[in-house]
Structure 1
Amino acid sequence: MNKAKSGIAYQIYGDEGTPVVLIMGLGMLGSVWGCQIPVLSKKHRVLIFDHLGIGESDPLPRGGKSMAEMAIDVGRLLEEVGWESAHVIGISMGGMIAQHVTLMYPHRVRSLSLLATSAGGVLSPAPTTHSFMFWLKTLGCKSNEQRAQLVKELLFPKSYLKTLSKEQHEHLSQIYQRKIPKNVVSAHVKAVIAHNTKPSLHLLQLPVLILRPDCDYLVAPSENDVLHRLIKGSRLVSFPNAGHGILRQCTDEVNKELLAHLVAVDAKQI
């Protein structure tokens, strides 16, 4: 991966087409977009990156960063790679960062796609008891295997996990077994709690796609409905059986929606 002046490790895929920035969620490597990169990069230049404190990026500064400060890092990264504008796609905490990027740099965002995320605000997104207990358990895990199993149970409905083969489970475990530094988890949770774009989302005047996993244990599905109401002209697509791990559970459907959105925007159909 390349290293930005800010210390953020990043990688660009694809040689042509309009630029796309993929922003990952809490504690996850940028490479977790692995099911989207091959498809999107056929028609677009695609940038992924690791948040500070994760993967190959530099350590997170003491005290962490606010959502707005993380958005500034994304803006600087765009400048460094020489992209005047880009489609911005974010999931979970990455979707929150994406909202701030769009509000802070409206002239640099061609379109916005939000997956399994929230506008924030008082007690929103409040973690469910289910998700809170799982996060506590993952922090106390003594083995990578145990940690991966807990993360899978948090990201995917039990009905979906039962359909996977042994090989598919092992593949998911390799992706989600990485231990997240406690200071990074704490800083990200702090940023999520303080996140609130509700007063400003009505200002957005660009094409917005919202993908709603209806069986999300981590972010209440209704949070996506709130975003849809607040962002005038946004398009909401529901995935009835999907969990927070929608990128992998519904890969083909998600990729189809994202590609159609980007194509329509670039063709100025929306």
Structure 2
Amino acid sequence: MQGDIIVEEKGPICWQEAGVGAPILFLHAMAGSRTAWVPQFEYFTPHYRCIAWDMPGFGLSAALPDGAQMAEVTSSLKGFVTQTLGLTSAHFVGLSVGGMILQHFAAEEPELVRSLTIMDSSPKFGLGGDMSPEDFMQPILSDLADGTSVRAFSDTMIKAITGPSCSPQVIDAAIGAMARAQLSGLVLTTQLIGNHDAMSALGHIRAPTLVMVGADDADTPVSYAEEIAKTIKGAQLEIIPDAGHLSNLENPEAVNAVLANFLAAQAGGMCR
């Protein structure tokens, strides 16, 4: 790794970063936090400035007000990028709900997005299925309200969403990353996922886009990734073998290779 990881906390957001060069911002899943990108930091910091935030309500980042919606999250991300980090553009990588946030953000703030990578995500909640948002959200919110610990909740979720070939070591690391969440963050992300609909936004994305999905992802399956890639003009689709919903941790070698080739193709993208 190029230099030590630096953890910063300025204003409402806490983040970690390492490396120098063109910035890559990593946005974690509900099942994660800023510490969920270890394999990517190790691989990319010799050539890029890698930055991973704790989204609002995770880790040391302040929570958003109760009832916050996607607009408040994308506004928080814009402030983090432009005011806290002082960047005018960057490469963005988002996993699951992180990818959902970026679908809206890239459509709303095209000048800030040098490239976009969406991993194991969905263009709309329940696409092609019969589960309603309420059917998804209500059991989770009730479970959290009844006092289930964040650690126990994380243990159950991580084991449910990883693929059959995921090692116990990776599962433990993923549980540790997600267990850094605050209760407010889990409530927020549950509501973001249940209310997610970026179908009208995807056609407005103009940044070069890579869409990745684990071949064994049962939560946001390959068909979801295909829909995203089909709707974003010129998007590249890659299916990652031997990976479930946390493909960046389950098969980091394949993810890193695909992402490295994609970023290398963005010639002149050394933006700081």
TM bucket, shorter chain: 0.7 to 0.9
Q: Quote the offset at 1:113 in angstroms.
A: 0.5
Secondary structure of 2:17's partner? Answer: strand
Kindly report which structure 2 residues correspond to 1:84-123, keeping only aligned pairs within 5 A, or say none. Answer: 84-120=88-124, 123=126
Would you say 1:75 and 2:75 are equivalent positions?
Answer: no
Pick aligned residue for 2:32 from 28, 31, 49: 28
2:8 aligns with: 2
Is the 8 Å Cα contact of residues 88 and 111 (structure 1) preserved in structure 2?
Answer: yes
Secondary structure of 2:265's partner? Answer: helix
1:206 aligns with: 207
Q: Structure 1 179/236 Cα, relative in aligned 2: closer, same or farther at 3 Å?
A: same
Would you say 1:155 and 2:161 are equivalent positions?
Answer: yes
Return the structure number with greater relative CO, CA threshold 8 A, min gap 6: 2
Q: Quote the offset at 1:33 in angstroms.
A: 1.0
How many residue pairs get aligned? The number is 257
Kindly report which structure 2 residues correspond to 1:209-228, keeping only aligned pairs within 5 A, or say none. Answer: 209-228=210-229
Is the 8 Å Cα contact of residues 138 and 151 (structure 1) preserved in structure 2?
Answer: no
Is the 8 Å Cα contact of residues 30 and 49 (structure 1) preserved in structure 2?
Answer: yes
Structure 1 distance, partners of 2:54, 2:236, is: 28
Pick aligned residue for 1:12 from 17, 32, 49: 17
Pick aligned residue for 2:69 from 66, 71, 76: 66
TM-score by length of 1: 0.83
Q: Quote the offset at 1:169 in angstroms.
A: 5.5
Would you say 1:258 and 2:259 are equivalent positions?
Answer: yes
Percent identity over the alignment is 23
Q: Quote the offset at 1:149 in angstroms.
A: 4.2
Structure 2 spans left out of the alignment, 5+ residues: 1-6
Q: Structure 1 43/138 Cα, relative in aligned 2: closer, same or farther at 3 Å?
A: farther
Structure 1 distance, partners of 2:177, 2:27, is: 17
Structure 2 distance, partners of 1:143, 1:43, is: 35
Deviations 1:127-173 (A, max 9, x none): 979x98996898575694x555423322322x314xx36x5665455
Structure 1 distance, partners of 2:183, 2:137, is: 15
1:193 aligns with: 194
Would you say 1:245 and 2:251 are equivalent positions?
Answer: no
CA RMSD of aligned residues (A): 2.9
Q: Structure 1 135/37 Cα, relative in aligned 2: closer, same or farther at 3 Å?
A: farther
Q: Quote the offset at 1:262 in angstroms.
A: 0.8
